[in-house]
């Protein structure tokens, strides 16, 4: 694994020890106050020992009033600073980097756990059979937009102080920053809407505020959609233009993904058999991105064969191979790849037979969350866990959170 095991220097001088990364997964492992739990911390201890060059956490919310899932970690002040320090310390002496993923859900905030849902514009989420899960958002005021920019910077500064080695901005998958970029969800008539230059102002402002707060030596990455895969949405051409903008800002790592809750391309939904067969879902796009930027590129989505990963790095198509779900069931997967123990990875797709849930991949998502919980509890993954158990788990979490909200 000559190329996968090679180091990578980021633009600010930070060095990743190899080219394998755990991409962000939904963990849903905070406590009732949205603080990191010991289960979450222990899961990262196991992953840190597993040999990856980079671990990117699941969503860390910047605002306690905007929660994507019932048990998201929220960091908006230092009330849980000791726990954040313990979480950051999981990679101590391993050479592995640990970057929290900073996020705001925007309109993709489940209604039963949020009193108020905001977005760039008042555009409802449209999911067949699932619209009742989400409220009609209200459009952010301009003062609220500036306040959210400050919140992103504040959260990053707290995490830096706690000992994390970088952060990633979540600008993909239909969350708030992605909503600003898309003409479907951003119908504003002010400086934040209209042209792509205006729609990209929010992500640039977020990046600049974080950079202002953390300095030049602290790496900042971003996850961005290759496209929304929706008619009239954020296009591939627009995404490439945003990559040019971010590259000019000297961002350190750009992770490529795609899709939204309405069209979950990041989970392989609606992918052609030929695309799935060649594994890397967004490889055509990243080859185009490589032509316009020298900023390190990370690709996540579909990698399952080690030879495909190695060749992608060797050919210079990308710089970091991201995987997510394999880490939930094979916590030592990076080491096993680099030592030649593993040549191919299989990950189950969990279905219920309920069309709406299976289209959203909701239960599939929770099944993997429960595997992460088992890792954090010191247990082995349970490949025989039923979809029904995952469905019951998320139903209970949402009910409990809704009860507290009301």
Q: Is residue 75 domain-resident?
A: yes
Which CATH number do you get for residue 115?
Answer: 3.20.20.70
Q: Encoding tokens for residue 152?
A: 């992103």
Q: Which domain holds residue 123?
A: 8-349
The pLDDT value recorded for residue 277 is: 44
pTM recorded for the entire structure: 0.91
Query: What pLDDT sits at residue 269?
Result: 45
Place of tokens 């990308």: 318
Q: Is residue 259 part of a domain?
A: yes
In a domain, 354, yes or no: no
Write down the pLDDT at residue 366.
86
Residue 133 lies in a domain: yes
- Number of other CB atoms surrounding residue 356 within 10 Å: 14
Name 73's bridge partners.
Answer: 60
As a 3-state breakdown, the chain gives helix, strand, coil percent values, each rounded to 5, of 40, 15, 45
- pLDDT of 395 reads 64
pLDDT digits (tens, 9 = 90+) for 17-37: 999 999 999 999 999 999 999
pLDDT in tens, 5-21: 999 999 999 999 999 99
Q: What confidence score (pLDDT) does residue 262 get?
A: 62
Asked whether residue 357 is assigned to any structural domain, the reply reads: no
> Residue 293: CB partners within 8 Å, gap ≥ 6?
243, 244, 247, 254
| Strand 54-61, strand 73-74: pairing | parallel
How many Å apart are CA 102 and CA 159, to the nearest integer? Answer: 10
Please name the helix (run of DSSP H) or strand (run of DSSP E) that holds residue 102, with its range, or none.
Answer: strand 97-103
> Going residue by residue through the chain (406 aa), what tens digit of pLDDT does each one get?
899 999 999 999 999 999 999 999 999 999 999 999 999 999 999 999 999 999 999 999 999 999 999 899 999 999 999 999 999 999 999 999 999 999 999 999 988 889 999 999 999 998 755 566 788 999 999 999 999 999 999 999 999 999 999 999 999 999 999 999 999 999 999 999 999 999 999 999 999 999 999 999 999 999 999 877 767 788 999 999 999 999 999 999 999 987 666 655 444 444 454 444 446 778 999 999 999 999 999 999 889 999 999 999 999 999 999 999 999 999 999 999 999 999 999 998 887 777 766 666 678 888 999 999 999 999 999 988 888 777 776 666 555 555 455 4
Q: How far apart are the C-alpha atoms of 386 and 265, rounded to whole Å?
A: 24
Within-domain flag for 381: no
Asked if the structure places residue 404 within a domain, the reply is no
**Tally of structural domains, the chain:** 1
Measured over the CA atoms of residue 223, residue 47, residue 219 and residue 192, the dihedral's sign is: positive
> Could you give the CA distance from residue 178 to residue 186 in angstroms, rounded to a whole number?
9
Is there a domain that residue 177 lies in? yes
């Amino acid at each position: 694994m000559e190329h996968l095991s090679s180091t990578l220097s980021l633009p600010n001088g930070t060095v990743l020890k190899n080219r394998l990364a755990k991409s962000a997964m939904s963990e849903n492992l905070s406590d009732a106050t949205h603080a990191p739990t010991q289960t979450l911390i222990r899961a990262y201890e196991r992953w840190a020992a597993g040999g990856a060059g980079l671990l990117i956490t699941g969503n860390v919310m910047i605002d306690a009033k905007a929660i994507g899932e019932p048990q998201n970690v929220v960091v908006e002040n230092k009330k849980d600073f000791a726990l954040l320090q313990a979480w950051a310390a999981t990679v101590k002496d391993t050479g592995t980097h640990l970057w929290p993923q900073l996020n705001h859900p925007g309109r993709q905030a489940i209604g039963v756990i949020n009193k108020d849902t905001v977005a760039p514009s008042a555009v409802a989420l449209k999911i067949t059979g699932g619209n009742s899960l989400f409220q009609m958002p209200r459009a952010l005021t301009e003062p609220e937009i500036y306040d959210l920019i400050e919140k992103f910077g504040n959260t990053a500064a707290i995490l830096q102080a706690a000992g994390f080695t970088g952060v990633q901005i979540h600008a993909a998958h239909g969350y708030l920053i992605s909503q600003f970029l898309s003409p479907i969800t951003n119908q504003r008539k002010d400086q934040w809407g209209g042209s792509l230059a205006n729609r990209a102002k929010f992500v640039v402002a977020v990046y600049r505020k974080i950079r202002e707060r953390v300095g030049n030596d602290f790496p900042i990455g971003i996850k961005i959609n290759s496209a929304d895969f929706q008619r009239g949405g954020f296009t591939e051409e627009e995404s490439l233009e945003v990559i040019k903008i971010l590259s000019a800002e000297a961002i350190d790592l750009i992770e490529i993904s795609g899709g939204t809750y309405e069209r979950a391309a990041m989970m392989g939904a609606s992918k052609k058999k030929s695309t799935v067969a060649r594994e890397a879902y967004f490889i055509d796009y990243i080859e185009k991105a490589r032509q316009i930027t020298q900023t390190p590129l990370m690709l996540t989505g579909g990698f399952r064969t080690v030879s495909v990963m190695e060749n992608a790095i060797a050919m210079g198509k990308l710089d970091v191979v991201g995987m997510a779900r394999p880490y939930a069931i094979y916590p030592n997967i990076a080491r096993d790849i680099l030592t030649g123990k593993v040549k191919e990875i299989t990950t189950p797709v969990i279905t219920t037979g309920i069309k709406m849930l299976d289209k959203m991949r909701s239960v599939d998502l929770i099944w993997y969350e429960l595997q992460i919980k088992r890792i954090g509890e010191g247990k082995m993954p349970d490949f025989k866990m039923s979809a029904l158990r995952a469905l019951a788990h998320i139903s209970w979490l949402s009910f409990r959170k809704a009860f507290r909200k009301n």
